[in-house]
Structure 1
């Protein structure tokens, strides 16, 4: 194809070649190329604007990252940073039989994942001590003066108010939960005390508090809360398996056919002075031996969703909880002694004997250490006993106090108990389960029935004089006292019978740990209570974050779009400058062409061909 040279029109430095067919209809080459660059910049700028404003909204920055950027880690051992605006607080008052305790909890903003629970921990002061306050006596002592209930609890609330930032009071939930001491009061007295609290507390404190936040909870509720608290601390509600044991669960109330596989939770055994309690998850649907048993089970099985989303089944649990009054270590000993006095007195009357009436003719007791002399009963009906330290005989005598029946799926007192998969389960034993194994026998931790019975037999058979010498030498746990030493034999046998004969744990069961602390801290049922009662708070956090996200996205988009429109305006200004500059060049070129060939300008302007132009091949 031929090329046309503009050697006359342009200087040597501006020498271009173009197709001859289209040259007459185009602008000068320098103008054309600069205009092409400008248009390219314009298109790139427009494309960039569309991509950023149309395809990269603020929602692409995930809520998870947004939450974590503002979240402050709440640790178990460090002092709580009360100046952190992202921390939330909650209060639980445990109104027990002997006293009341205020527990202060805190947690960072929820991470935005509705499948996760709040990360609730106990608040710690500047000395890293848990923020807890105790007062005595129990609130049930206000039964005759219920109008003083709010005065009674005032010091606890003042204590909490001092530790929580004032601007956080209005959003800090307060729960006052009463247990065993209040349960034994008549309902009218209970209500009078609760009503005084409901009326007066909002007058003096600005906590998030409503009528439903103060109540007398049942033993079943208390057991569920304890189960929740322990499993939360153990990390059992984090369903990432991480190599941990799992279990197949038929989720209560769910229509799904396949079982949900999630992390196995831990069961709880707790033996206090008065009562014994067991709580564990029932992963499979329960079958009943009779309609009566099914009716009984309704009061023992708790089905609940611990998560914030009622439509999610990740945290739906079916938990069996049963509390046995009179089956605690001290109460069992009292029943045993009452029975011993009754039987001895009856036998003495029938046979005309005086066994136990004098120290010289004591009643033999296999549940006390060998040669230990003791007195039981009241001053009016006192009995002298002498220990023989026979662990196996003691167990045999205690077996009848379990009130066990032959009916299937029953435990202590003939109470219904669902089957436990002992091959895939784990239990933690607290209170007397720990004291019996650790204080004297020094075997706390992983429970081994065979080693435990050997140690208990040896202790029971040891002469009391020797045991005292060991005690005086400091060979037992520092908090073990003479009372523990004296009744260790009885309580060892009682714990063994409750565990293996009452709850039917196999003697070769390997997954029981007797503990006082979980991860070096004491776990109270109040932790489970606040976890359960604040379970819907994450929804509030998620909704607030969504609203803030929309608002921030609008502001972000507005400023972002304006900034980039400014960028486009700059491009237009640059292009306009180029066009004006090129028009100026065109006028200069036109004058130069006129000087070179007068007849060339009409050809250039009208687009007509010229046969007289030289052609370069």
Structure 2
């Protein structure tokens, strides 16, 4: 078959196929520029629309958004760069019963997303140590000399002032929050101490400080702050990844459908004196009586942790309850007092002398086997001998929980909302961790059967054997003799508080006992500053919006305008195509006028064409 020549349609110098020739003909000024401009607008409009609607792949998002998704959290241990002008600071003084401690926090400017919280972390010095200072005694010791309260706290504020750049002092919020030690003082003495701080601190320091920044907080507030701090460190307030979700009926909201977001963690904390529980209540609670509803108001805290009051992403309903006398040491003291009382009464009724001498000790199932101990006061003491029976100890301790038959109650008959144990997670601190780790060496994920078996084995071990293990250094840096003596009791007490008091199922798998969260101790002060600075991001967002369209052009258009831009780009490309079609039609007409009629049969027959003159 001969070669087809199109020299009648196009110049002889064009040695391309028909599509290439037509395209080359079309891409001549001014249509080439129009095509390129239209195509460019179309591509930009498409990319822009996809970016706004969030349809681009994760690796296409801007560097700024990529940073938002992978924010550095408070686990950072690098020294704080105090020369960074974009770094902000905040101070919280924890005025406890035994002493006061100041924490210095810092955070970068807010990223501009109103649904995200400030990235607050503890400030660290050049040695990467947390900037913290503690003094003794507690501020409540100033009750008789309230005019010296500001002198008492002066060293803490001076310490913080040395670490924070001077030009940042005026915008650094200072909060002085007093806890248990101040709560037991009469209100008049509390107010006298607080008034001295309000009056004198602004004279010596120019931190951002107002009258409302110093107060005596309730146990409920302290519990909420602890819950906030732990969940913040765990990343539970980052709702971008819903690997573990829960449906939430947002408090105070009229929306019908439940909000689906990341599941938060509950907190169990058992100290020496008290035990505390705090967890989110995702669904609306129903009450069995008006009295129960009234009690619940004092135990449920509803708050918005976000900076925008109209957004529901960070609206939480948290149950917090503190049980005085239910800590490990306080429970043991109550137990011993009951033993002495019951034994003394029985001895008098029956004419016995059980426990009065070491030769006739009172059996105690809550002490290791064969451990001899004396309890009570010198005036009324009792000799006891451990029998190491874990199950019998548990049975005895159930009466100290003060449970009732009412529904939705826990220790001492206090109201407790139902917990969805199948979709929950809890972290246990203090005694919940010590009971599992210091001696049994099984801290971490809690398994009821393994824990009970380990505790039962420990209780049944002869005290002589336990003492030999201790002397050989087996429990070095983990436990002392006091822990060894009362490990059996505290193991049983923790078990009963968890399963009988708080009604956790024995097959519950989502309790983790810890001392540190991400290798660091989490204080309630972190939650306090997160809550009290929650509106500061609005300032950063407003400042960011003033920087102009060139630096943050994506935020300067509304969603409707984004669609308008796309439509404009689309019509520009459509107009370009129409113009090209018209141009193509003119080209065909012009070619038909210059072609010879005799060439048509050759084209139809597929024969080689003769050499034809080119008529321009």
TM range (shorter): 0.7 to 0.9
In structure 1, the residue matched to 2:149 is 149
Q: How far apart, in 2, do the equivalents of 1:402 and 1:604 lie?
A: 104
Q: How far apart, in 1, do the equivalents of 2:286 and 2:557 lie?
A: 62
The equivalences for 1:183-332 within 5 A come to 183-241=183-241, 244-332=243-331
In structure 2, the residue matched to 1:83 is 83
Q: How far apart, in 2, do the equivalents of 1:421 and 1:45 lie?
A: 47
Per the alignment, in what secondary structure is the counterpart of residue 115 of structure 1?
coil
Q: CA deviation at 1:547?
A: 2.6
Q: Which moved more, 1:227-236 or 1:185-194?
A: 185-194
Q: CA deviation at 1:234?
A: 0.6
Using a 3 Å threshold, how does the CA distance of structure 1 residues 576 and 13 change in structure 2: closer, same or farther?
A: farther
Using a 3 Å threshold, how does the CA distance of structure 1 residues 80 and 50 change in structure 2: closer, same or farther?
A: closer
1:180-217 deviation line (CA, Å, top 9, x unaligned): 11111111111111111111111111111111111111
* Cα RMSD after superposing both structures: 9.6
Q: CA deviation at 1:549?
A: 3.1
Q: How far apart, in 2, do the equivalents of 1:475 and 1:26 lie?
A: 88
1:313-334 deviation line (CA, Å, top 9, x unaligned): 0000111111000000011111
Using a 3 Å threshold, how does the CA distance of structure 1 residues 552 and 382 change in structure 2: closer, same or farther?
A: same
Q: How far apart, in 1, do the equivalents of 2:469 and 2:2 lie?
A: 119
Q: Which moved more, 1:592-601 or 1:218-227?
A: 592-601
Q: How far apart, in 2, do the equivalents of 1:363 and 1:409 lie?
A: 38
Q: CA deviation at 1:52?
A: 20
Per the alignment, in what secondary structure is the counterpart of residue 564 of structure 2?
helix
Q: CA deviation at 1:110?
A: 0.1
1:424-474 deviation line (CA, Å, top 9, x unaligned): 100000000000000000110000010111110111111111101111122
Confirm or deny: 8 A CA contact 1:74 1:80 kept in the other structure: no
Using a 3 Å threshold, how does the CA distance of structure 1 residues 318 and 564 change in structure 2: closer, same or farther?
A: closer
Q: Which moved more, 1:543-552 or 1:509-518?
A: 543-552
Q: How far apart, in 2, do the equivalents of 1:519 and 1:75 lie?
A: 6
Q: CA deviation at 1:578?
A: 33
1:505-534 deviation line (CA, Å, top 9, x unaligned): 000000000000111111111111110000
Using a 3 Å threshold, how does the CA distance of structure 1 residues 112 and 339 change in structure 2: closer, same or farther?
A: same
Confirm or deny: 8 A CA contact 2:96 2:180 kept in the other structure: yes
Q: How far apart, in 1, do the equivalents of 2:584 and 2:366 lie?
A: 117
Q: CA deviation at 1:137?
A: 1.3
Q: CA deviation at 1:71?
A: 10
Q: Which moved more, 1:145-154 or 1:164-173?
A: 145-154
The equivalences for 1:429-578 within 5 A come to 429-476=428-475, 478-549=477-548
Q: CA deviation at 1:476?
A: 2.1
In structure 1, the residue matched to 2:92 is 92
In structure 2, the residue matched to 1:119 is 119
Confirm or deny: 8 A CA contact 1:25 1:607 kept in the other structure: no
Q: How far apart, in 1, do the equivalents of 2:578 and 2:255 lie?
A: 70
Q: How far apart, in 2, do the equivalents of 1:53 and 1:441 lie?
A: 53
Q: CA deviation at 1:503?
A: 0.1
Q: How far apart, in 1, do the equivalents of 2:345 and 2:395 lie?
A: 21
Using a 3 Å threshold, how does the CA distance of structure 1 residues 591 and 482 change in structure 2: closer, same or farther?
A: closer
Structure 1: give runs of 5+ residues left out of the alignment.
none
Per the alignment, in what secondary structure is the counterpart of residue 380 of structure 1?
coil
Q: CA deviation at 1:548?
A: 3.5
Q: Which moved more, 1:134-143 or 1:343-352?
A: 343-352
1:329-349 deviation line (CA, Å, top 9, x unaligned): 011111111111111122222
Using a 3 Å threshold, how does the CA distance of structure 1 residues 602 and 92 change in structure 2: closer, same or farther?
A: same
Q: CA deviation at 1:352?
A: 2.5
Using a 3 Å threshold, how does the CA distance of structure 1 residues 119 and 72 change in structure 2: closer, same or farther?
A: closer
Q: How far apart, in 1, do the equivalents of 2:601 and 2:447 lie?
A: 113
Confirm or deny: 8 A CA contact 1:139 1:152 kept in the other structure: yes
Using a 3 Å threshold, how does the CA distance of structure 1 residues 609 and 172 change in structure 2: closer, same or farther?
A: same
1:240-279 deviation line (CA, Å, top 9, x unaligned): 225x211111111111111111111100000000100001
Q: CA deviation at 1:101?
A: 1.1
Confirm or deny: 8 A CA contact 2:5 2:609 kept in the other structure: no
Q: Which moved more, 1:278-287 or 1:595-604?
A: 595-604
Q: CA deviation at 1:355?
A: 2.0
TM-score (norm 1): 0.79
Using a 3 Å threshold, how does the CA distance of structure 1 residues 611 and 575 change in structure 2: closer, same or farther?
A: farther
Per the alignment, in what secondary structure is the counterpart of residue 422 of structure 2?
helix
Q: CA deviation at 1:583?
A: 36
1:47-74 deviation line (CA, Å, top 9, x unaligned): 9999999999999999956998999997
Confirm or deny: 8 A CA contact 1:72 1:86 kept in the other structure: no
Using a 3 Å threshold, how does the CA distance of structure 1 residues 192 and 603 change in structure 2: closer, same or farther?
A: same
Confirm or deny: 8 A CA contact 1:278 1:322 kept in the other structure: yes
1:581-613 deviation line (CA, Å, top 9, x unaligned): 999999999999999999999999999999999
Q: CA deviation at 1:99?
A: 1.2
Q: CA deviation at 1:376?
A: 1.2
Q: Which moved more, 1:15-24 or 1:31-40?
A: 15-24
Q: How far apart, in 2, do the equivalents of 1:525 and 1:419 lie?
A: 25
Q: How far apart, in 2, do the equivalents of 1:607 and 1:396 lie?
A: 105
Structure 2: give runs of 5+ residues left out of the alignment.
none
Q: How far apart, in 2, do the equivalents of 1:25 and 1:421 lie?
A: 72
Larger radius of gyration: 1
Q: CA deviation at 1:15?
A: 28
Using a 3 Å threshold, how does the CA distance of structure 1 residues 529 and 474 change in structure 2: closer, same or farther?
A: same
Q: How far apart, in 2, do the equivalents of 1:394 and 1:451 lie?
A: 18
Q: How far apart, in 1, do the equivalents of 2:606 and 2:29 lie?
A: 15
Q: CA deviation at 1:386?
A: 1.2
Using a 3 Å threshold, how does the CA distance of structure 1 residues 332 and 587 change in structure 2: closer, same or farther?
A: closer
Confirm or deny: 8 A CA contact 2:39 2:573 kept in the other structure: no
Q: Which moved more, 1:583-592 or 1:348-357?
A: 583-592
Would you say how many aligned residue pairs link Structure 1 and Structure 2? 616
Using a 3 Å threshold, how does the CA distance of structure 1 residues 71 and 578 change in structure 2: closer, same or farther?
A: closer
Q: How far apart, in 2, do the equivalents of 1:196 and 1:485 lie?
A: 46
Q: How far apart, in 1, do the equivalents of 2:20 and 2:279 lie?
A: 93
Confirm or deny: 8 A CA contact 1:375 1:383 kept in the other structure: yes
